[in-house]
Structure 1
Amino acid sequence: MKIRSLLSLLAVFLVSLIVAVSCTFPQPPTSTTSPSAVSTNQSIRLGFNNWPSFLYMQVAEESEIFNQNNVNVDLIFYDYAKSLQALKEGKIEANFHGLSDTIKMIDGNSNFNPVIVLTTDVSNGGDAMIVQKEIKQMADLKNKKVAVEKGEINHYFLLLALEKAGMSEADIKLESLDTRAAVAAFVESQVDAVVLALPYTKEALKRAGSQVLVSTKDFPQAIPAHLVVDRKLIEERRSDVQALVNTWFATLNFVRQNPESSYKIMADYMGVSVSEFKGYESEIKFFSAEENLRAFNSGSDLTSLPYAAKELSNFLLNAGMIKQKPDISQLFDSSFVEAYANSLNK
C-alpha cells in the first residue's frame, strides 16, 4: 500500500538532501477528524496511507460520508509500515493494507486476529522495479544492488519477480532500506535498482535513463489491497464494521458523481496536481461489490483470495518472511460485502 509534497525548499543542497526532502510526505500519525465529525458514538480509529485508493477515505471524511453512514471515525494517516504496527498494537481498530502483510500479522501473534472484510483494489502497475539504463532484463540484475524495504510488501514482489525469472535473492545484492532512503539511494546512483509502490515509483523515475523493468501489470493479482479489522471490532461493534464497508462503496459512487471536487481533495492531500493523482490511480484496479464476492470464493488461481492467501503463505514461509504456516481459515469475512450487495437489490 505516503506523500505530502513540500511547497518550498530553502536552498539548493546536495542531491541526496534534495531527494530526501522531496520525498518527505505527511508525518504519521495524523488525525484528520474534524470537530463536526465527532458524534456521541464511540469512534473507530481507522488507519490509512497514501495508496491512491485509500485516499478515498479522505473524501469520505471531508464530504461527511462517514456521518451519512452513521459511523464515527477517527481517520489517522500513517506511513505504510507504521500503520501495520499500529493495528497490531491496538492503536487503531482498522486499517487499509495488503494481503501479504495481513498474513504476516497472523504469524506468532496470538493476541491479534486480523479479518479481511473488503478488497478495495489490486495493483495494476502501481508497484514496480525501477532500474538503471544498463539493465534490460531480469538476468542483468545478477550481483547488482537492489534496494527494497525488507520484509514489506515490495520485498515480496521482488521475490516473486526473481522467482519467475528463475532467480533468487542470493543472485542479487539486496540493500534493505526504508522507502524514502531507497528512493534517495537509487536517484543518487548508489544502487542499480529499486522496488517501490506508488507514488515513490514516480520519484525514482527522475533518475536519468531509468526505466520500469517489471511491475504488477506482469503480476495482476499479486498485490490486492484490503480493509482489515481486528476481530474484536466485529464481535463488539458489527454494525460499525458494516458501516465502514457501506461507506467505502458510497465513497466510490460519490467520487464518480463528483469527480472534480473529489480528485481535488485527494490531490491536495497528496500535494500533487489532479492530473498527477489520476495518473497514480490509473495504475490500480478498483473492485466492485460483485468482484469482491467472486474474490472471496474458493478457487484454483490468484483471482480467489483463499487460494492467493494459501499460495502467499507458502511463499512467505519458504522465503523466511514468516516462521510458521499461519491459520488462514478465518482470515476472510464476506458477510459485510454480501449485506451491502443485498441492500442494492431491495
Structure 2
Amino acid sequence: MRLLMLLLCLLLVSCTPPPPPLRIGLNAWPGYEFLYLAEHLKYYRDEGIEVQIIPFSTLGDGRRAFERGQVDVMGSTLLEPLMARELAPVEPVAFYVTDYSNGADMLIARKSIPDVAGLRGKRLGLESGTVDVLTAGLALRSAQMGYADVDLQNLTQPQAVNAYLRGELDAIQTYPPFSQSVLKSEDAHVIFDTARSPGNVVDILVTHKDMVRTRRDDLVKLVRAFHRAQQYHRAHPTEANAIMAGREGISPTEFADSLKGIQLVYLPDQASYFQQGKLARLMLTTHQTLQSLNLLKQTPCGAACLDGSITQRAGTP
C-alpha cells in the first residue's frame, strides 16, 4: 500500500504542468534593457524560470497591456502603475528600482525658443498618462508656468518625434532612444532635463498583487537574473552595450550615451528605496502631482503598492 501511495504521489508530481512563462512588458528605455540582456545571456534559464519578453513602443502601450492582464511584469515609472490602478481593476506592486533619470528625460525645443519660458503659447508634444506628464511638469514649474500656458498635443513618442521633424510641434518631451532622433535635427536643442531634478523620476519593475502571492519565487529569480545582467555590464560594458543597443535599433555608442542620462540602481541599493521609505515618499509625491492635474481620484495606495521582500530574498545567498 505504501509503495502504491508513493507511486501515485510521483505520478501526480510528474503530471503537474510547469508554470507559464513570466510575460515581461518591455518599453524602449536604457534602464529596462537589462531585462533583455539577462535573456540574451541565458540568466533566466540559469535561475530556472522561463520568460517571454513582449516589446512595446511606448510606456502607454505597456501600461494598457498591464491593465488588461496581458503582461505579468512591466518596466515603468511610478506614474504608470498609479494610472493603471485608477483606470482598471488591477493591484500593481513595485518590487525593484532599476534606475533614476538624471538627464535622460528631456524637453527639446526649436532653437528659436531659448528656454522654458519661451514655450508660452507654443505647441508641446507629449504622451498623456505617462511619465511625460511629470517631467514636462517639472520643466514648466521651473519657469513658474503650468500646462495652461502651452498648447498641449497628446501624441505617443513615435508620433511626437515625427510631428516635430515635420515642423508641426515647437517642443517635445522625450527620452532615449526617441530623443536621439530629434537631436539629430539641426533645429533642436535641450531646454530642460532631469539632471536639474535628479532622483525624482525613478524607473521600476511592477507586477500584479496576485503574482506576488502565487509566483514570489519566480520574481526573486527574475531579480537575481536582472542583477547578474547589471553586473555583466559593469564587467563587460562594450559587449553589453552592443547587445542592448541592437534591441533598440541604435548604435552601441548611442546606447552608451543614453546610459549617461540615468543612474543605475543595483541590488544592494534597494533597501534605501523600500525599507528606508524613499520609494514610498516618491510614490506619494507622484500621486499628489497627478491629483493636482485631475488625473487621479483614488486615495494613495501606500505600502499596498510596494513589496521590498523580493529584493531582500534575492540578495540572500
TM-score normalised according to structure 2 size: 0.90
Q: CA deviation at 1:298?
A: 4.7
Residue of 239, 248, 273 corresponding to 1:295: 273
The question of whether the paired residues in 1 share the 8 Å contact of 2:177 and 2:248 is answered with: no
Name the CA distance, whole Å, in 2 between partners of 1:268 and 1:336.
30
Match of 1:329 in 2: 303
- How many aligned residue pairs are there? 300
Name the CA distance, whole Å, in 1 between partners of 2:30 and 2:313.
26
Deviations 1:25-47 (A, max 9, x none): xxxxxxxxxxxxxx944311111
SS at match of 1:217: helix
Q: CA deviation at 1:89?
A: 0.7
Residue of 61, 86, 102 corresponding to 1:82: 61
Name the CA distance, whole Å, in 1 between partners of 2:148 and 2:20.
50
The question of whether the paired residues in 1 share the 8 Å contact of 2:107 and 2:139 is answered with: no
Match of 2:112 in 1: 134
Name the CA distance, whole Å, in 2 between partners of 1:289 and 1:251.
11
Name the CA distance, whole Å, in 1 between partners of 2:301 and 2:248.
37
Cα root mean square deviation, aligned: 1.7
Match of 1:233 in 2: 211
Name the CA distance, whole Å, in 1 between partners of 2:188 and 2:61.
29
Once the two structures are overlaid, the 10-residue window that deviates more, 307-316 or 75-84, is 75-84
Query: Which runs of no fewer than 5 residues in structure 1 stay unpaired?
Result: 1-38
SS at match of 1:87: helix
Match of 1:95 in 2: 74
Q: 1:51 to 1:108 in 2, by over 3 A?
A: closer
Match of 2:181 in 1: 203
The question of whether the paired residues in 1 share the 8 Å contact of 2:22 and 2:50 is answered with: yes
Larger radius of gyration: 2
Match of 1:278 in 2: 256
Greater helix content? 2
SS at match of 2:191: strand
Is 1:213 aligned to 2:187, yes or no?
no
Q: 1:266 to 1:108 in 2, by over 3 A?
A: closer
Name the CA distance, whole Å, in 1 between partners of 2:56 and 2:73.
12
Deviations 1:255-310 (A, max 9, x none): 223334322211222222211111111111100223221022455xxxx1111111
Name the CA distance, whole Å, in 2 between partners of 1:119 and 1:331.
13
Once the two structures are overlaid, the 10-residue window that deviates more, 228-237 or 51-60, is 51-60
Name the CA distance, whole Å, in 2 between partners of 1:293 and 1:53.
19
Name the CA distance, whole Å, in 2 between partners of 1:145 and 1:240.
45
SS at match of 1:329: helix
SS at match of 2:25: strand
Q: CA deviation at 1:96?
A: 0.8
Name the CA distance, whole Å, in 2 between partners of 1:60 and 1:335.
21
Name the CA distance, whole Å, in 2 between partners of 1:133 and 1:259.
34
Match of 1:307 in 2: 281
Name the CA distance, whole Å, in 1 between partners of 2:233 and 2:262.
16
Query: Which runs of no fewer than 5 residues in structure 2 stay unpaired?
Result: 1-16
Name the CA distance, whole Å, in 2 between partners of 1:323 and 1:151.
14
Name the CA distance, whole Å, in 2 between partners of 1:257 and 1:41.
33
